[in-house]
Structure 1
Amino acid sequence: MQTLRIDPYTLLHKSIGVILVLLTRFSAVLLVHTVLFCTLGVADPGPLRVFILAGQSNMEGHAKV
């Protein structure tokens, strides 16, 4: 019967990798929530003006907005 031998360094490196992935995901979620929370109530209650400038991919900005 063979015994299962676990290399502690390999296990440590895998654990560190998992921890780094979880910390990265947590940081991303925290950043998104912080930005969303900070922008609540910041929007101007006035009308929203949208300008659609359609043209060729090489058009130059000669329009007066």
Structure 2
Amino acid sequence: MQFPTPRGPNEGTTLYQAPCASYDSVNASAISTFPLNGETIMLFSHGDGSLVYYYAPNSSATFTKVS
């Protein structure tokens, strides 16, 4: 993902691990504001994969799938 910035420290290895690029705990200081009415910009270098958006509505570790 090019924008918003990924939360992980090493996007070369961790972006491909589920869930959330292996960052499934909520760390409010590492989460950027997401443009709810904007867009995401992604660079795909592999031809096969899935993309699912999840969000944490509060500071708990419970993520909710955006449908």
TM bin (shorter chain): under 0.3
What TM-score do the two structures reach when normalised by structure 2? Answer: 0.20
Larger Rg computed on CA atoms: 1
User: Which structure's residues are more often helix, by fraction?
Assistant: 1
- Higher RCO, 1 or 2 (CA under 8 Å, sep at least 6)? 2
Higher share in strand: 2
